Chain A
Amino acid sequence: MKLLTGFKLAWFGLWANRLRVLFAMMGVVIGMFAVIVLISISIGVKDTLLKQMGGLGAEQILVIPGRVLDTASGQKDFLSGLTSVPSTLTYDDAKAVEKVENVRSVTPHLETVTTVRMGEGKDVKRLQSVLVGSTDQYSRVQHAELVEGRFFTKEEQKEKARVIVLGSNIHDGLLGKESVPQENSAPVKATPEPWWKRIFSSLTAQMVVAEKKEASLVGKEVVINDMKYKVIGVLAPNATLGASTDNNVIMPIETALQETDMKNLNKMIVEAKSTSVIDQVDSDVFAAIKENHKEIDFSVVKQEQMLKALDKVTTILQVMLVGITVTALLISGTGIMNVMVMSVRERTREIGIRKALGATTFEVMVQFFFETLLLCLLGGVIGIGLGYVFIELWNNNIFIFSLVLPLWGVKLALYSSLAVGTLFGIYPALKAARMNPSKALRFE
C-alpha cells in the first residue's frame, strides 16, 4: 500500500468519525491558539519595549532625572535600580550640553497635563492631554511621523510662536470621532464600527481604492490655558505601551516655558556626531550637566546600556514563551493521544475487519498514525486561524500595545502541531497495529 493510500484511508477514517474528530481536535486548536496568541503578545511587548527603551539610535544618549543604580557587574539596572526623584534638569542644562564638543543636537522634553479646548457655547469640546514642550527636532528624534500639516521650525521656536502639533487621539477627539478623556463637558459621542466590520476592513484594507477625505483641524485654533494656539500639524497614530504620542500636544519649548509653569525637563535626547565619539560625548555631557548641579541627581544612558537592560526582559519573555508553548503542546498532545487510544478501542472490531480483509500491521499503523497527524495538522491550522482573528480583533480594538505575529510564529505553531501528531500518534497507531485480528473481530 502506498503512503498516499494510507493518507486517503486516514482521511476517510477521520471523515467517518467527524464528531469525535471535532472533540479530539479541540485540544490542539486551543493549544495552537494559545501558542499563536502568546507569541504575538511576547513579540508585541518586546517590540513596544524596544521602541521605548531601545528607540534611541546608536549615536544617541538619553539624559533622565534620578539615578540609575549600577548592578554588581557594573551594568545599569533599569529594572529595579531606577530611583524616583523630582527632576532638576533644566533648559539651561540642555543649552550647556549643546556646547559640548561632537554633539550634533539636543532635544529637551518638558511635559505636563493640560486641557485643550475648542469651540464655543454648546459645541465646546474640552480634552485632557499631555502638553509637551520640545524643539523642532522632536519628530525626527521621537520617530513621530506626521499625517498632515508640518512640524514647527527653529524660527517659530525662537519667536515663541503659539503653534502646536496634535497627537492623533486629541485631533480625533476634538473632531468628535473618538472618545478620549473629557473635562467638564458632555462626552463626545464616538461611533465606532462594529468589530466584524473592523476586522473585515483590516483584512481587506489593501483592496480599498478610494479613501474618504477626512476633516482636519490643521490651520484652526484651539485654546490652552486661555491662550489661543494655531494647529499646524497632526501626528500619526502611535499607540504603544505607556509611550504613545497619541494624547500629546507638542509646542515649541520656548513657548511652553513662557506660557506654562513647566520649568524642569522630563528627559533630553543628545545626539553625538558619530558612534565613534559616543563614549567621549557621554562623559562630556555628564560633566557639562554636573557643572549646574550640586548632586548627581540625573543619569546619562547610552543605547548600548538600554539594550542590555532590555535583553534581560526579553529573555524572561522568551523563557515564559517556551515554557507555555511546551505546556500547551504537552496538554494538547496527551489529550489527542487519549482520544486516539479511546478511538482505537472503540474501533477494535473495525481494525479486525480491516485485517481480515488483508490489511497488514504496517497499513493499519500508517492509517491510525496519519489520522492523528491529520487531526493535529487540521487542529493546528484552525488554532492558527483563530489566533490570527484574535490578533486582528485586539489590534483593531485595544490600543495599549499592538500584537505582532511573526511568520516564524505561524511556522512554529504548524511544526509544533505536526510534532504533537507525530509524537503522540505513535502509541495509538502501534496499539491498533498490534491487535490480533481474530480477537478484534470478537470484540464487543
Chain B
Amino acid sequence: MIELREAKKFYRSGGEKVPVLRGVNLQIGQGEYVAIMGKSGSGKSTLLNLLGTLDVLDGGEYELAGQAVHKMGKGKRAALRNKEIGFVFQNFQLIPNLSVYQNVLLPLTYGRKKWVGKKAKVLNMLEEVGLSNKKSQKPSRLSGGEKQRVAIARALINEPSLILADEPTGSLDEGTTESVLQLIDRVHKNGATVVMITHDIEVAKRAERTLLLQNGMLREMANEAAYGI
C-alpha cells in the first residue's frame, strides 16, 4: 500500500537546510493499522503530510497504491488524495461556515468519481457516526467528540483505502477518545489501512504495529519502554 524509500525532507531556517527526515524507509501493507510515535518536533506531522501527498519529498521515492507519488504533479496528487486518502486531524479541520452535511459532502464535490445519490450517501455516513440529527448544524455548535466524528465521516465518505490520522484524540477527553478510537477501529476492520500519529502509548497499543520517529529516522518499536517514551 505504502512504500517510502530513502525519504528525505528539509526545512529552511535562516538560510540553512535543517533535515527533518534523513532517509526514511517504510512499508505498510494494505489493511494494516500502524501507529507512529515520536517526540514533539521529531517530524511526525511532516511524515504524515508526505504520506498524505500534501507535501513533496526533497529526496527518495514514495509509492502509494502502486503509483509513484514522487513523480506526480500537483493535479495528479490532488486526484490521488481525493480518491485514496482520508484525513483525520487533531484540530478537526472542519470548515466553520459550512454545515455538518456540507463538510461531509465536500470530498464528493471534488471527486472525479460519479457517485449516485450523494445526499443519501452523506446522510448514511452521518447515521453511521451517530450525527444524523446534527446535519444542519455548524461545527461551532458541536462538542469536540462530535467534531471529530464529523471529520471521520468526511474522511470516509469517498471510501478511501488509506486513513491518515494526526493525533485524532489529542483534543478530546477520555470518554470521547474511546468512542473516536472505536470508530477508527471499525474503519480498520472494514479493510482500510490506518496510519495514526499519537503521543499516547495507550492509543498506539490499539495499532498492529508501532513505529518511532527519532532523529529523522523511523524504527519499529519492539518495547516502548526501551525508547523512553
Binding site for B on A (CB under 8 A): 1, 5, 9, 12, 16-17, 349-350, 352-363, 436-438, 441
Q: A1-B110, A361-B75 are in contact. Are A356 and B98 (CB under 8 A)?
A: no
What residue in chain B is nearest A363 (Cβ atoms)? B110
Which residues of chain A are near B49, meaning CB under 8 Å?
438
6 contacts between A and B (CB under 8 A): A9-B109, A17-B97, A350-B97, A360-B75, A360-B79, A437-B54
Q: Do the beta carbons of A349 and B93 come within 8 Å of each other? A: yes
User: B78–A355 contact, CB under 8 A?
Assistant: yes
SS class, residues of chain A in contact with chain B: helix
Q: Assess whether A358 is in contact with B93, with CB atoms less than 8 Å apart.
A: no
Q: B166's closest neighbor in chain A, by CB?
A: A441
Chain B interface: which size bin?
A: 20 to 34
Interface pair A358/B81, CB less than 8 Å apart? yes
Taking a contact as CB atoms under 8 Å apart, the answer to whether A1 and B55 are in contact is no
Report the Cα distance A5→B105, complex, angstroms.
13
B54, B79, B111: the one contacting A441 at CB < 8 Å is: B54
Residue contact B79 to A357, C-beta cutoff 8 Å: no
B89 contacts chain A at the CB level, 8 A cutoff? yes
- CA–CA, A358 and B157, complex, Å: 13
Cβ of B106: which chain A residues have Cβ within 8 Å of it? 353-354, 357
Q: Inside 8 A of A363's CB, which chain B residues have their CB?
A: 78, 110
Measured between alpha carbons, how far is A303 from B154 in the docked complex, in Å? 76
Smallest CB gap from A357: residue in B: B107
A-facing residues in B105-122 (Cβ within 8 Å): 106-107, 109-111
Q: Min CB distance, A444 to chain B, in Å?
A: 10
B97:A358 contact, CB within 8 angstroms: no
**Residue on A nearest B107 in the bound complex, by CB:** A357
Considering the complex, give the chain A residue whose CB is closest to the CB of B106: A357
- A358 touching B75, Cβ below 8 Å: no
Which residue of B is nearest A362, CB measured? B75
When distances are taken between beta carbons in the complex, the residues of chain A under 8 Å from B78 are: 355, 358-361, 363
- Complex Cα distance, B95 from A355, in Å, reads 12
Q: Determine the residue in chain B with the shortest Cβ distance to A17.
A: B97
- Interface presence of B70 (CB below 8 A): no
Q: Report the 6 A-B pairs with minimum CB-CB distance, sorted nearest first.
A: A358-B82, A16-B97, A358-B110, A438-B54, A438-B49, A360-B78
Q: B168 an interface residue at 8 Å Cβ cutoff?
A: no
Are A359 and B110 neighbours in the complex by a CB distance under 8 Å?
yes
Contact of B110 among A16, A354, A361 (CB under 8 A): A354
Is the pair A361, B74 in contact by a Cβ cutoff of 8 Å?
yes
A356–B166 alpha-carbon span in the complex (Å): 13
- When C-beta atoms are compared, the residue in chain B nearest to A358 turns out to be B82
Minimum Cβ distance to chain B for residue A440 (Å): 9
Task: Select which of B54, B83, B95 is within 8 A of A350 by beta carbon.
Answer: B95
Alpha-carbon distance between A352 and B154 when the two chains are bound, in angstroms = 15
Q: Nearest-CB distance from B161 to chain A (Å)? A: 14
- Residues of A within 8 Å of B171, CB to CB, are none
CB closest chain-B residue, reference A1: B110
Residues of chain B contacted by A16 (CB below 8 angstroms): 95, 97-98
Given A12-B102, A350-B95, A361-B75: A356 and B54 within 8 A (CB)? Answer: yes
